[in-house]
Amino acid sequence: MRQRKGRISLFSLILLLVIAAGIVGTKRFGPYYWDYWQMKEITKTTARTWRILGVQSATEKLGVMLQDRGLSDYIDASFCDLSEFRDGYRVACSWEVDVYYPFSETIRTLSFSTEHVAQMDD
C-alpha cells in the first residue's frame, strides 16, 4: 500500500505524541530526580567528612554543598539526620516535593531519601 506524499502516517503521529509526552515529563519531573542523584553524593561526602573531621565540619559541609548546588531552595540541612551507627557514621536525608502534572491541576508528591554510612575503617 502506498502513502501519498505530504501525509503523516498514524505511526508517525503516535511516535511524535510519545516523544512529546516524554519531553514534557522529563522537563517536569527530571530536575527532582537529578537533585536526588546529587543528594546521594552530598550524603556520602557528609558522612566521610564526619568520619575524618567531626560532626561540626560535616554539618557545615552539608550546608555549603546544598547551597553550592542550588538545592537549598527546597532541601534544608535540617532534613538530614547525622547519627552514630554501629561502627560508623550515618547520614540519612529525606524530603518531599509537590509537583503539578503538566496541563492539569493534579499534584503528585515525590518522596526521596538517601543514606550513607561511613565505617570507621574505610
Summarised one tens digit per residue, pLDDT across range 61-103 is 999 999 999 987 889 999 999 999 888 999 999 999 998 877 7
* pLDDT greater at residue 8 or residue 84: 84
- Confirm whether 16 is domain-assigned: no
- Confirm whether 13 is domain-assigned: no
* Domains in the chain, number: 1
Find the domain containing 66 and state its range: 32-119
- Confirm whether 54 is domain-assigned: yes
- Confirm whether 17 is domain-assigned: no
pLDDT band at 3 (very low <50, low <70, confident <90, very high): low
The b/e string for 3-41 (b: 16+ C-beta within 10 A; e otherwise) is: eeeeeeeeeeeeeeeeeeeeeeeeeebeeeeebbebbee
- Confirm whether 96 is domain-assigned: yes
Model confidence, pTM: 0.77
